A and B are shown apart, each in its own frame.
Chain A
Amino acid sequence: SAAGGGAAMCSGGTLSILRSDSYAELSQYRDQHFRGTRYDQERLLRKSCTLYVGNLSFYTTEEQIHELFSKSGDIKKVIMGLDKVKKTACGFCFVEYYTRGDAENAMRFINGTRLDDRIIRTDWDAGFKEGRQYGRGRSGGQVRDEYRQDYDAGRGGYGKIVQCQ
């Protein structure tokens, strides 16, 4: 429609209340393993078309992720997160879109909704690099599964620390 770009032209602007887009903002999380400065990372995050997706069930498939995340736009690639030792799904993935706008809509409308009955969480990612598909926990999965105390049937039961007790 013709309405889009002209908004700024008419008497100089829009309102901050209408610029509010909190779901698409960067979170506080920064990847500690990122190679580069904080500034570099933030610059990449601000133009990224890739999302990190967390709190997946270990059984959630690439197909399910593709179906859900396609609702905000065409997906370029899905990379499943794997246990470093077992090489099986360990509950996270990356979803890369062709355009940032599509990724933003995923942050606005898919983040915080359910996949496989679990509330999933999306966040901006600076971009996939080989090696980042592996969990960073000591046992091979994600760090969060090392230390958690609860029982989660979709994520291998108890946390690793609890399991070792």
Chain B
Amino acid sequence: MSRRRHSDDSDAGQPHKRRRTSEPSEIEERLESLICRVGEKSNSSLESNLEGLAGVLEADLPNYKSKILRILCTVARLLPEKLTVYTTLVGLLNARNYNFGGEFVEAMIRQLKECLKVNMYNEAVHLVRFLSDLVNCHVIAAPSMVAMFENFVSVTQEEDVPQVRCDWYMFAFLSSLPWVGKELYEKKDAEMDRLLSQTESYLKRRQKIHVPMLQVWTADKPHPQEEYLDCLWSQIQKLKKDRWQERHILRPYLAFDSILCEALQHNLPPFTPPPHTEDSVYPMPRVIFRMFDYTDDPEGPVMPGSHSVERFVIEENLHCIIKSHWKERKTCAAQLLSYPGNNKIPLNYHIVEVIFAELFQLPSPPHIEVMYTTLLIELCKLQPGSLPQVLAQATEMLYMRLDTMNTTCVDRFINWFSHHLSNFQFRWSWEDWSDCLTQDLEKPKPKFVREVLEKCMRLSYHQRIIDIVPASFSVLSPANPVCIYKYGDESNRSLPGYTVALCLTIAIKNKASNDEIFNILKDVPNPNQDDDDDEGFTFNPLKIEVFVQTLLHLAAKSFSHSFSALAKFHEVFKTLAESDEGKLHVLRVVYEVWKNHPQMIAVLVDKMIRTQIVDCAAVANWIFSSELAHDFTRFYIWEILHSTIRKMNKHVLKIHKELEETKARLARQHKRRDSDDDDDDDDRSSDREDGPLEEQIERLQEKVESAQSEQKNLFLVIFQRFIMLLTEHLVRCETGGIDVFTPWYKSCIERLQQIFLQHHQIIQQYMVTLENLLFTAELDHHILAVFQQFCALQA
């Protein structure tokens, strides 16, 4: 709806618009509103609303046919959770106006082709499903729908195409069957049997190397984490065994059967799937997340089984609702809770399961993580008597299964749970989790509790955390985030550099300049060399130590103080950290000073990258250094690494964008010149005009290349270090005859997977280098498997 602005100087035209009531854009808004709102809570029945709306639209067809067509096509694509409402509407319109029905079907096919061309595969599935439900509304003839599905399934016979392409066409076919399987089987059982048998053989022969990488849990109990096509196939097989009886989907068209069966049907034009191109990007495979079954809510309605088609339909619809309304948390929560069938299914359990399915989805959640936290809070507000209990039950279950949960998913669990608790005064029955206190601190459960408490502290303060947990949990409580200054005590006066540190402290407190600092540091001996350079500023770890320790200590009060310090003495930092060893040592000292305060380390590293005191490769090398081995499995380390990679990626994109924009400016300049139609085509003057822009483009081109090279190098460094670390462990275990699969190993190998998954689009560019240089056949098969699983994702 266009928001009416209060009359502004800039909007002198508004008053006129308000007086006229039949502006085309207002009509379209009204039509859109009518169509979008049908099916929502109303005093009249859905059937009478649909009938009324069909009458209104039929009357508007002579004047607004194309608008109505466009709106209906859009709701088909973007409101799949209301699929059957709109197919019924189209059915009623088709019964009243056969031509309109035909034009709608044609428009839908055009839209489907467009979607496939621009890689909008998720929306294309909704269109296919819509078309198939139109068979139930007597708009499309069943045999022509079967023919379309035959073309879909025959994609599996194509040669030299990615498996994910065949997967999509198979998914589009199978996922429509809950809606239309019965009707198609009744009309064309032989053809359907043939299609189903082709499906079965495709599913048997397709490779599933990618599955372990996408599973939230590595264990199959209590619920197997099935590959999405396998799960759907089991559901369809069960549906077929039940003679295609499907009772969950709301089908408003049943009430209109007498009208609809009088309607003439249209045949779908023969549909050839557009061929595979280099630009085609198909959806990644998925694993179906399940955490509940009927035993989890013994008193409520029975939860449909994992291989029931009801389960599939409910999950699809709930996911669609979130996709439609994720920006509007109150609406989203209300829509989820008003999903029909409330008293026949344990809706709260389905909602919680679907939300966690998205939150834990690998490689990434469909939406920003914080949305799910806030959505769950809204749901708790709307259902305070029931939802919090389901959420608590879910949390307990997730905790119980931490041992086999993928490390990336544990990260998200930690972030969600700590943020959630911070909205509820950190109230939780910690004693229920005392079992983790007797375990090795590196095991998943105590590790989880430690990380949660650390995150809770970041959202509050240290004493608060001490107060909220039982005394027995003190072993898991976070350290008091205080600064460690090695030159602080008189007792340290024998340390080399102590006197310089004192000098520096006084100087900085007296607002010394960078030059004065350089002067003071000049006298610091270099433990690495016998004779200094004339310049005096080669890598001197002691200089770095004294300066960084002292400065960070003086600026310890807050983030802002520390950032100001970095800014004020930027010159000193840049000089001391000029070499790679210098950069590494700066990071080491930052860690030594702030190892109790991981959050401070993270923000300092971020600032130092952004102000180019250190570079991304230095951070990567620092993370894999032996000094950090003790903290290697802590969450904050990986937050820092992934944040570093993201900064690198954003940097490359930014320069690339600048380059494209400058090229566009040059092109516009040329165009302007050409269109001026100058007969005096003085080449030299045109070149002069182009000069500065062309120079800029050349410079930017170099910048892009250098940034891309830095980016590739960063990933290579990371992969290299992982391989070294993991190989070391594997060799040690082999020679020592001990089990490879320690908690450290599980964490490390999953962190490697996480790099691949979180940055898969960038890494795809490096496949050849990775294959030839790093992930070669000589590599231990444990490590190689990760690479192979990654390759399988878009194969």
Nearest A-chain residue to B563, judged by Cβ: A77
Question: How many Å lie between the Cα of A112 and that of B237 in the bound state?
Answer: 47
Interface check B403, CB cutoff 8 A: no
CB-defined contacts of A16 to chain B, threshold 8 Å: 1, 29, 32-33, 36
CB-defined contacts of A152 to chain B, threshold 8 Å: none
CB-defined contacts of B374 to chain A, threshold 8 Å: 108-110, 113
Can you list, as one digit per residue, whether each of A76-119 has a CB less than 8 Å from chain B (1) or not (0)? 00111000000000000000000000000100111001111100
Interface check A38, CB cutoff 8 A: yes
State the Cβ distance, B443 to closest chain A Cβ, in Å.
Answer: 26
| B425 and A117 form a contact (CB under 8 A) | yes
Q: A9-B114, A62-B559, A63-B558 are in contact. Are A39 and B370 (CB under 8 A)?
A: no
CB-defined contacts of B8 to chain A, threshold 8 Å: 38-39
Contact of B422 among A7, A21, A23, A114 (CB under 8 A): A114
Can you list, as one digit per residue, whether each of B308-336 has a CB less than 8 Å from chain A (1) or not (0)? 00000000000000001101110100000
| A17 and B36 form a contact (CB under 8 A) | yes
Question: How many Å lie between the Cα of A80 and that of B558 in the bound state?
Answer: 11
Question: How many Å lie between the Cα of A14 and that of B73 in the bound state?
Answer: 10
State the Cβ distance, A40 to closest chain B Cβ, in Å.
Answer: 11
Can you list, as one digit per residue, whether each of B446-463 has a CB less than 8 Å from chain A (1) or not (0)? 000000000100111100
Can you list, as one digit per residue, whether each of A59-73 has a CB less than 8 Å from chain B (1) or not (0)? 001111011100110
Nearest B-chain residue to A37, judged by Cβ: B9
Q: A17-B36, A39-B9, A64-B458 are in contact. Are A71 and B78 (CB under 8 A)?
A: no
Chain B interfacial residues counted at CB < 8 A: 62
CB-defined contacts of B795 to chain A, threshold 8 Å: none
Contact of B324 among A7, A11, A18, A78 (CB under 8 A): A18
| B74 and A11 form a contact (CB under 8 A) | yes
CB-defined contacts of B411 to chain A, threshold 8 Å: none
| A108 and B123 form a contact (CB under 8 A) | no
| A116 and B377 form a contact (CB under 8 A) | no
| B461 and A62 form a contact (CB under 8 A) | no
CB-defined contacts of A22 to chain B, threshold 8 Å: 328
Interface check B606, CB cutoff 8 A: yes
CB-defined contacts of A78 to chain B, threshold 8 Å: 559-560
Chain B residues 607 to 658 lying within 8 A of chain A, measured CB to CB, are 643, 647
Question: How many Å lie between the Cα of A74 and that of B602 in the bound state?
Answer: 12
Interface check A163, CB cutoff 8 A: no
Question: How many Å lie between the Cα of A25 and that of B1 in the bound state?
Answer: 13
CB-defined contacts of A14 to chain B, threshold 8 Å: 74, 78
CB-defined contacts of B559 to chain A, threshold 8 Å: 62-63, 66, 78
Q: A3-B120, A9-B114, A105-B368 are in contact. Are A67 and B70 (CB under 8 A)?
A: no
| B36 and A109 form a contact (CB under 8 A) | no
Can you list, as one digit per residue, whether each of B280-314 has a CB less than 8 Å from chain A (1) or not (0)? 01000000000000000000000000000000000
Interface check B583, CB cutoff 8 A: no
| A6 and B459 form a contact (CB under 8 A) | no
Interface of B is mostly: helix
Interface check A153, CB cutoff 8 A: no
Question: How many Å lie between the Cα of A72 and that of B1 in the bound state?
Answer: 27
Interface check B266, CB cutoff 8 A: no
CB-defined contacts of B543 to chain A, threshold 8 Å: none
Interface check A32, CB cutoff 8 A: no
CB-defined contacts of A66 to chain B, threshold 8 Å: 559, 599, 603
Q: A2-B120, A11-B73 are in contact. Are A18 and B423 (CB under 8 A)?
A: no
CB-defined contacts of B415 to chain A, threshold 8 Å: 71
| A10 and B560 form a contact (CB under 8 A) | no
Interface check B77, CB cutoff 8 A: yes
Question: How many Å lie between the Cα of A22 and that of B29 in the bound state?
Answer: 18
| A10 and B114 form a contact (CB under 8 A) | yes
Nearest A-chain residue to B366, judged by Cβ: A1
CB-defined contacts of B122 to chain A, threshold 8 Å: 3
| A10 and B328 form a contact (CB under 8 A) | no
State the Cβ distance, A106 to closest chain B Cβ, in Å.
Answer: 8
Interface check B46, CB cutoff 8 A: no
| B118 and A10 form a contact (CB under 8 A) | yes
CB-defined contacts of A64 to chain B, threshold 8 Å: 458-461
| B78 and A109 form a contact (CB under 8 A) | no
State the Cβ distance, A99 to closest chain B Cβ, in Å.
Answer: 9
Question: How many Å lie between the Cα of A7 and that of B419 in the bound state?
Answer: 33
State the Cβ distance, A14 to closest chain B Cβ, in Å.
Answer: 6
Question: How many Å lie between the Cα of A13 and that of B460 in the bound state?
Answer: 44
CB-defined contacts of A105 to chain B, threshold 8 Å: 368, 370-371
State the Cβ distance, B71 to closest chain A Cβ, in Å.
Answer: 8
CB-defined contacts of A24 to chain B, threshold 8 Å: 327
CB-defined contacts of B343 to chain A, threshold 8 Å: none
Interface check B519, CB cutoff 8 A: no
CB-defined contacts of A38 to chain B, threshold 8 Å: 8
Contact of B118 among A6, A12, A62 (CB under 8 A): A6
| A23 and B328 form a contact (CB under 8 A) | yes
Kindly list the 3 A-B residue pairs having the minimum CB-CB distance in the complex, ordered from nearest: A2-B119, A71-B370, A67-B458
A-B contact pairs, 6 of them (CB 8 A): A15-B36, A23-B329, A24-B327, A39-B9, A61-B461, A64-B458
Residues of B within 8 A of A (CB): 1, 3, 8-10, 29, 32-33, 36-37, 70-71, 73-75, 77-79, 107, 110-111, 114-115, 118-123, 281, 324-325, 327-329, 331, 368-371, 373-374, 377, 415, 419, 422-423, 425, 455, 458-461, 558-560, 599-600, 603, 606, 643, 647
Further 11 A-B residue pairs, CB within 8 A, beyond A63-B599, A72-B370: A3-B119, A7-B78, A10-B114, A10-B123, A20-B331, A23-B327, A63-B600, A67-B459, A108-B329, A108-B374, A109-B374
